[in-house]
């Protein structure tokens, strides 16, 4: 295939997983280059002392990714595509969920849109990005699924992929690195609501530094991001 006109911003929310990063960056650079997809990898490294906020990091990555990219991949650092037939091309017809429930080794809910999701920048703006209220692990993609539907968009998924649960390699070792699944204060009730007001328009952050790196010859940009939290709004952003 020829190099197309579009350019992908690969947005990778990140904190303290350097061994996964060392595998991810060169692998994805080779994978996308082989498919002739113009791309830039952004490592969204959360360096504040709040709980991890995947959705806010993706909002920041979107805002900081520049005008030379016209679509994004929200991409977990611990998920590598093994099947070269997977489509990472420009998702003109709507959000394209690469890590489909039929293929993901762990998550099989039909409303699941986590792992790897492609959107045009226009479609992400139509959703007002993701909610900033989800501190700790999980649930932010469930809320984003409702935003996609609310924006009148349809999630599409791969077809004709025959490798099943062997389509991806999942690098995460839960026994070695526990996920922050604690639910604090009103967080249990909040996590099932749709955030009607927040998103791209109110993410609060500061870029501490922006560094161009080469990992085994593969280029990427590391954004060290300080998120901010209004503890009167979301008291569960701290471990308290």
Residues of the chain with pLDDT under 50: none
Helices 54-64 and 140-150, axial angle in degrees (round to 10): 50
Topology of the domain covering 7-237: Spore Coat Polysaccharide Biosynthesis Protein SpsA; Chain A (3.90.550)
Among 139, 138, 132, 238, residue whose Cα is nearest residue 178: 138
Residue 113 in contact with residue 148, Cβ under 8 Å? yes
> What are the extents of the domains in the chain?
7-237
Cα–Cα distance for residue pair 132/203, rounded to 1 Å: 6
What DSSP line would sit under 20-65, residue for residue? HHHHHHHHHHHHHHHTT-EEEEEEEEE-SSSPP-HHHHHHHHHHHS
Whole-model pTM? 0.92
Question: What pLDDT shows up at residue 226?
Answer: 98
Cα–Cα distance for residue pair 235/8, rounded to 1 Å: 35
Cα–Cα distance for residue pair 100/114, rounded to 1 Å: 9
Question: What pLDDT shows up at residue 197?
Answer: 84
Question: What pLDDT shows up at residue 177?
Answer: 56
Question: What pLDDT shows up at residue 59?
Answer: 98
Question: What pLDDT shows up at residue 190?
Answer: 61
SS3 208: strand
Question: What pLDDT shows up at residue 191?
Answer: 57
Question: What pLDDT shows up at residue 179?
Answer: 58
Question: What pLDDT shows up at residue 25?
Answer: 97
């Amino acid at each position: 295939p020829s190099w197309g006109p579009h350019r992908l911003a690969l947005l990778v929310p990140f904190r303290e997983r350097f061994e996964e990063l060392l595998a991810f960056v060169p692998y994805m650079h080779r994978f996308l280059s082989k498919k002739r997809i113009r791309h830039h990898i952004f490592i969204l490294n959360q360096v504040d002392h709040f709980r991890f906020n995947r959705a806010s990091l993706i909002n920041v990555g979107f805002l900081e990714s520049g005008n030379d990219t016209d679509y994004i991949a929200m991409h977990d650092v611990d998920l590598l595509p093994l099947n070269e037939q997977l489509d990472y091309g420009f998702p003109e017809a709507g959000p394209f969920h690469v890590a489909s429930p039929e293929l993901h080794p762990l998550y099989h809910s039909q409303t699941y849109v986590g792992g790897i999701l492609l959107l045009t920048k226009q479609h992400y703006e139509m959703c007002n990005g993701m909610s900033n209220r989800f501190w700790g692990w999980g649930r932010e993609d469930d809320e984003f699924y409702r935003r996609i539907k609310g924006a009148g968009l349809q999630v599409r998924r791969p077809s004709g992929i025959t490798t099943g649960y062997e389509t991806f390699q999942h690098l995460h070792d839960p026994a070695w690195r526990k996920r922050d699944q604690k639910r604090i204060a009103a967080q249990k009730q909040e996590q099932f609501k749709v955030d009607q007001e927040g998103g791209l328009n109110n993410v609060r952050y500061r870029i501490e530094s922006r560094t161009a790196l080469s990992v085994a010859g593969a280029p990427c940009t590391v954004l060290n991001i300080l998120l901010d939290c209004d503890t009167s709004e979301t008291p569960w952003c701290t471990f308290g």
